Amino acid sequence: MSHKSIKSILNKKFDYKINGRLWIECKGEGFFGPGRVELLQRIDKTGSINKAAGEMGMSYKKAWEMINALNVQAAKPLVIMQAGGNRGGGSVITEEAKKLIAYHDQLRQRFISFLEKETQNLVTL
């Protein structure tokens, strides 16, 4: 046990835990994380950037900028957008997007495991 000495620092009345964020970077800036995952999933469900943004309490503008950045950073487009047409148009996520979401889900699960393990280590140390 390498850090028994930390014990006295933690107030027993409070609950401490290890937490964090994780994302995929591209060229030093954010590429893929929880926010974009949720947006893609809601676009997939609703067929509309507008509706997806509304569900998330996000402005259409911000949502559009997010998926635009995604399409620019990725080798292949992740969202196909159509202005005009049947029912005014809409947006569809690609198979590549679904695969990226699946990869991210597994990555996130490993991260959560890491956090839980470290929290357990902190609390019991």
Partner DNA sequence: AAGCGTTATATCTTTAAAAATATAACGAAA
Partner DNA sequence: TTTCGTTATATTTTTAAAGATATAACGCTT
Residues that bind DNA (CB under 7 A): 48-51, 57-62, 64, 68, 81-91
Strand, helix or coil for residue 54: helix
Q: Which does 27 bind (CB under 5 to 8 A by kind): DNA, a second copy, none?
A: a second copy
Least Cβ distance, residue 9 to DNA (angstroms): 20
75 three-class SS: coil
Q: How far apart are CA 46 and CA 90, in angstroms?
A: 9
Give the interface segment with a second copy, choosing from 2-10, 48-56, 58-66, 80-88 (CB under 8 A): 2-10
C-beta closer to a second copy: residue 51 or 108: 108
Q: Assign residue 43 a region (left: φ > 0; alpha: ψ between -120 and 50; beta: otherwise).
A: alpha
